[in-house]
Chain A
Amino acid sequence: MNFFRLVADLMHLASIFILLLKIQKTRSCAGISFKTQLLYAIVFVTRYLDLFTTWISLYNTIMKIFFIASSVYILYLMKYKFRATYDPILDTFRIEFLLAGSLVLALIFNYDFVPMEILWSFSIFLESVAILPQLFMLSRTGEAETITTHYIFALGGYRALYLCNWLWRYIFDGHVDVYAWVAGIVQTALYSDFFYIYYTKVLHGKKFELP
């Protein structure tokens, strides 16, 4: 564990609490893409299957259980409790392509051709593009609630810090994980426009609006 990874994980954790706060405070999931949330639930379930096979640490186990449980809980909130506030008309990104593309990539690029490893690769590739429906929704509405932008920022920042973590681990431990690196770079790059607007608008006290 190094500084970057710890802060990244805490940021990831924070993003989920911010999302829960947004939904509970405004009693609405308006502006949140159900499809992105669904993809994250799939990402966590397929990646953390090793909960049953490999013990890493108590920290690791608790975080994994939290990520799976919270993602399923958010799906429940969006699908049932606050269903009336969700606007499917704005959430029209075709996730079939993301799922199929990630699966194909996982079948080609994996550390071992066994179901667990293929699903791990699948989750890494799917995570890298899982934010697309959310960003697409944002581009359609052209604006967002400030708390929603904090959520997206924390979610994007977490993987950006993982890039620092991977550089750190490579330098000091010789740790190499090419698939996670490439996916992490793609994931962070997808946020670049968002980061720019977040920095120039939200952090200067203005509303998040697309130019």
Chain B
Amino acid sequence: GDCIIIHDEL
């Protein structure tokens, strides 16, 4: 989907 978040946090 286009609501994907890039998980750039720990």
Which A residues are closer than 8 A to B by beta carbons? 5, 9, 12, 47, 50, 54, 56, 60, 63-64, 67, 111-112, 117, 120, 162, 165, 176-177, 180
Contacts and interface: CB of A to CB of B under 8 A. Distances in A.
Interface residues of B, number: 9
B1 to A, nearest CB: 6
Interface in B1-10: 1, 3-10
B10 A112 contact: no
Q: What are the 9 A-B residue pairs with the smallest beta carbon separation, nearest first?
A: A56-B8, A111-B4, A63-B10, A111-B5, A112-B4, A177-B5, A112-B1, A9-B10, A120-B7
17 contacts: A50-B7, A54-B7, A56-B8, A60-B8, A60-B10, A63-B10, A67-B10, A111-B1, A111-B3, A111-B4, A112-B3, A112-B4, A117-B4, A120-B7, A162-B9, A176-B5, A177-B5
